[in-house]
Amino acid sequence: MIALSNVLPTGMSEAVVASAYGGPEALSVIDVEVPEPGPGEVRIAVRAVGVNPFDYKMYSGAFGADPAKLPMRLGAEAAGVVTAVGADATGPAGPVRVGDEVIAYRAPGAYAAELVVPASSVVPKPAELSWEQAGGLMVAGATAVHVLEAIGLGKGDTVLIHGAAGGVGLVAVQLAVARGATVLATANPVKHELLRELGAIPVAYGPGLAGRVRVAAPEGIHAAADLVGTDEAVDVSVELVTDRSRIATIAGFERGAQAGIKLLGGGPGADPGTGIREAARLQLTEAAAAGRLRILIASSHPLRAAAAAHRESMAGHTTGKIVLVP
């Protein structure tokens, strides 16, 4: 049971950190101090945290290995209950109050039992979502919105989405269908029935992909989104889409740069899409609350099992989101 008041004593919280650069074995749980929220801030008792590929890339050395950044807090999204608020704590949907069930994004250091974040990062959690679904909604959802905006996807377009059964892919498929696009979705055949349920035309990845896409979409492909970062995804997209400004990747930054397509997200040279992603938050919660957006959870792990969650994510075979539960 959470004690709710506007002023709670400063306490300690468990948080996951990377103590070195490398693999998931570098992760550990430590006690950290949780300060009182200052003006424009709120404190949250975390109920679920989304796991994202960017989290483990941060300590893998993919973006550098500055020892001054260690130990490194991880995470960017969480859902929970507001336990304390500072003065003028107002979010995108209005004033934030103690007892509110919320989603926080962006929420640096989200792998924790308690967080203090700017109220501007907090939006109301739809009652229709479980804690796990709410904790895994925003990074995948905002990324999907950014991708579809970047490739200019609209009604009547045919789009090829690579990695369609992952966390970002499942949201992107649903949002693209809602925009009136025809969606070709690459995935392992065992995941094809789910993609059909979501309104996509599934296509198996692997050798011969371009030919299978041509058969499935004989009138051509207008745009493509690479959500996996493989050479195949980039190469097939470039082969099938004439206008390279309508191809984007969130993972294949080196190959994407060579091909002259759009780089999106947190990688080197990529467009972070900050404004688009922030504007997407209320759009996503509204769609989820109305039942227009399903958030599928692949698995849930205790906070102390963050290393196992990362190993599962790195294997690349999940369907939906992986979450941590403090």
Question: At 267, is the pLDDT very low, low, confident or very high (cuts 50, 70, 90)?
Answer: confident
Question: At 2, is the pLDDT very low, low, confident or very high (cuts 50, 70, 90)?
Answer: very low
Give me the residue spans of the domains in the chain: 11-137+295-325, 140-263
Tens of pLDDT, residues 132-186:
999 999 999 999 999 999 999 999 999 999 999 999 999 999 999 999 999 999 9
Question: At 262, is the pLDDT very low, low, confident or very high (cuts 50, 70, 90)?
Answer: very high
Round to whole Å and give the CA distance between 296 and 171.
Answer: 9
Tens of pLDDT, residues 80-111:
999 999 999 999 999 999 999 999 999 999 99
- The strands making up 27-34's β-sheet, listed across from edge to edge, are 27-34, 11-18, 72-73
Domain 140-263 has what CATH class?
Answer: alpha beta
Tens of pLDDT, residues 224-250:
999 999 999 999 999 999 999 999 999
Tens of pLDDT, residues 296-320:
999 999 999 999 999 999 998 889 9
User: How many H-runs (helices) and E-runs (strands) does the chain carry?
Assistant: 10, 18
Which token pair is 84?
Answer: 């304390």
Round to whole Å and give the CA distance between 51 and 49.
Answer: 7
Helix axes 167-178, 138-150, angle to 10 degrees: 50
Task: Give me the CATH topology for the region 11-137+295-325.
Answer: Quinone Oxidoreductase; Chain A, domain 1 (3.90.180)
